[in-house]
């Protein structure tokens, strides 16, 4: 087993070199458990079916001073399953995201082809998804501005792609969304045929993690995640580590640069740690005048056993060895 995660140190330094503080995609403190959301290449790459449910309440208690402002809330469901006979896997992501007057529902279906490489598995994935975006009531800065959306919605198809490399004790993955740049159109309050338009921006996510065995009872896993808005050139970076005790309990801490300090606790239950439950807590460190002090996140995961190899090995006899 390698003891020095040099690739992860390099990755953190590289990503930090072009960090700009911003939030572009939904934040998940449990990103280290959420590979399917990050990259379609993750689908089935671990060789067993995994399901994950997550709910995040960001900036608990924050209320906008007018209109539909308030705390962002995100619900997420993912499933990843191997297709062993095809050396591939499939995945599904369903998400509902509420941000002020914007309500987004998104469903994505992924396919990943698996290659054995360097002692691990490389997943090469593509995804197609349908997004329904709703805009509530807005007040225009300029009265009569026909471009301001009002209680209108639109739905569009878009695509994504990604890679995921899974080794026994480390992983690295990347995914990009909205490759088609779908444009969503919204009616204004007058319903006069003038449509406001929002273009789906391309987002890149890059992540990595490394499992270090400190003792027979303690493993430590440093992790890092970069999110980049490809259109605006805006980045968000977070890094941290979690410790797992006796393969049953975990705890961790991290920092989302320019925003928050994060912490998490969790436990594995049932045979072979099939069931997992986690809780994450964020404390806002930057921009406290415009945000509430805390965010909260809960996660529930379930893993099916790996399929057994029922192929009987050939029986050899020395009778025919001559």
**pLDDT the model gives residue 214:** 94
- Digit-by-digit pLDDT tens for the chain (322 residues) are 334 444 444 444 444 333 333 345 788 999 999 999 999 999 999 999 999 999 999 988 877 665 566 789 999 999 999 999 999 999 999 999 998 888 999 999 999 999 999 999 999 999 999 999 988 777 666 666 666 777 888 999 999 999 999 999 999 999 999 999 999 988 887 777 767 788 888 999 999 999 999 999 999 999 999 999 988 788 899 999 999 999 999 999 999 998 999 999 999 999 999 999 999 999 999 887 778 889 999 999 999 998 776 555 555 555 544 4
End-to-end Cα spacing for the chain: 42
Which pTM was predicted? 0.85
Domain ranges (residues) in the chain:
26-209+268-305
Distance in angstroms (rounded) separating the CA atoms of residues 46 and 84: 11
Beta bridge partners of 121: 116, 166
Could you tell me the CA-to-CA distances from 280 to 49, 74, 146, 214, 237 in Å, in that order? Answer: 24, 14, 42, 24, 17
Distance in angstroms (rounded) separating the CA atoms of residues 311 and 307: 12
């Amino acid at each position: 087993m390698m003891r020095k995660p040099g690739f992860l140190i390099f990755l953190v330094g590289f990503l930090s070199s072009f960090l700009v503080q911003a939030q572009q995609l939904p934040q998940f403190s449990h990103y280290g458990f959420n590979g399917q959301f990050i990259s379609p290449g993750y689908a089935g790459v671990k060789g067993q079916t995994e399901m994950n449910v997550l709910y995040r309440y960001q900036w608990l208690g924050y209320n906008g001073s007018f209109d539909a402002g308030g705390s962002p809330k995100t619900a997420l469901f993912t499933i990843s399953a191997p297709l062993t006979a095809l050396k591939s896997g499939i995945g599904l992501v369903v998400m509902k995201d509420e941000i002020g007057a914007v309500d987004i529902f998104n469903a994505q279906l992924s396919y990943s082809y698996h290659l054995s490489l360097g002692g691990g598995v490389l997943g090469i994935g593509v995804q197609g998804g349908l997004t329904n975006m709703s805009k509530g009531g807005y007040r225009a800065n300029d009265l009569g501005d026909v471009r301001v959306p009002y209680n209108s919605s639109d739905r569009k198809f878009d695509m994504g792609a990604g890679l995921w490399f899974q080794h026994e004790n480390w992983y690295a993955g990347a995914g990009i969304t909205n490759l088609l740049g779908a444009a969503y159109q919204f009616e204004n309050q007058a319903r006069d045929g003038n449509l406001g338009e929002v273009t789906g921006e391309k987002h890149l996510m890059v992540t990595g993690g490394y499992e270090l065995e400190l003792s027979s009872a303690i493993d430590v896993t440093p992790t890092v995640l970069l999110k980049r808005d490809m259109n605006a050139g805006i980045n968000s970076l977070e890094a941290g580590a979690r410790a797992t005790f006796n393969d049953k309990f975990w705890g961790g801490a991290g920092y989302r640069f320019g925003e928050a300090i994060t912490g998490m606790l969790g436990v594995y239950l049932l045979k072979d740690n099939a069931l997992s439950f986690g809780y994450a807590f964020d404390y806002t460190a930057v921009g406290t005048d415009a945000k509430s002090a805390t965010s909260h996140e809960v996660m529930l995961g379930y893993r099916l056993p790996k399929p057994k190899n029922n192929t009987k090995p050939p029986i050899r006899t020395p009778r025919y060895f001559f």
